[in-house]
Amino acid sequence: MARTDILPSLGLGTFRLKGQEAFDSVTSALKLGYRLIDTAQMYGNEEDVGRAIRESGIPRDEIFITTKVWWDRLRHDDLIASLEESNRKLGVEQVDLALIHWPSPNDEVPIAEYIGALNEARGRGLATRIGVSNFTVAQIDEALAAPGGDQIVTNQVEVHPFLANRRVVDHCQRQGMVVTGYMPLAVGKVMDEPVLKEIAADHDATPAQVALAWVASRDIVVIPSSTKPSHQEANLKALNIELSADEIQRIDKLDAGERIANPDFAPEWDA
């Protein structure tokens, strides 16, 4: 399973959740036993996430909070200010993990500048750990070589049965980094996939649970987003599913390079 000494193996993603919906989703997840909550400045829900965490009654040191700095705030001073703002909105002194949400488009801001600033933010106590998101193999290597790059613990990237993202996942893991996989359910597409349905039937599970089990079997932290407590509970139970080597191989064959998160400012992806 994923490196639970660095990140819990499964968390709650909060992309697209705002207001009361974000508050309710985090509240129910924490009640069910989730201890990793993933948010970002760009999501516009840090205040709602923070309120749910405070009102949960769970000690702060038992909850792992990840947030991310958007690509338009990567200059040194702005990055520091962004994390200070995130902490204020979340109502915490520091987050457990601060990520660069996307690399600077067209390298407008040098990787060394914002990795250095991110590590400085860590040194100032704004975050306990630092990492990146949506970085390619070449960008990972550049980030690791930058001052402060030795502190990077994870690369958060899109991973699901239709996008195994093997090159970057394998590279990061060889470097000793944890990989965090977002959109592990391919925005619901996994529910209609025949192979996943067949395997799910054999495990008395759902296709979504099988997809999560497959991602987790690759030693990747999974952060599915869900607003329904029943789905959140099912996602937690997915980590108990043990897929056979044959089942994993069948799911491996579903990889078609189908990328969902691919904005116009995305880097040039690894094949």
Which residues are the active-site residues? Answer: 43
H/E stretch holding 65 reads: strand 64-69
Q: How far apart are CA 67 and CA 51, in angstroms?
A: 15
Backbone angles phi, psi at 124, to 5 degrees: -80, -5
Residue 58: strand, helix, or coil: coil
245 by Cβ neighbours in 10 Å (0-12 / 13-18 / 19+) ranks as exposed
Cα–Cα distances in angstroms (integers) from residue 113 to residues 42, 81, 87, 108, 109, in the given order: 21, 15, 22, 11, 7
In sequence order, what are the residues at sequence separation of 6 or more whose Cβ sits closer than 8 angstroms to the Cβ of residue 62? Answer: 35
Spatial separation of the C-alpha atoms in residues 145 and 102, rounded to whole Å:
18
Give CA–CA dist 130/6, Å, rounded.
Answer: 11
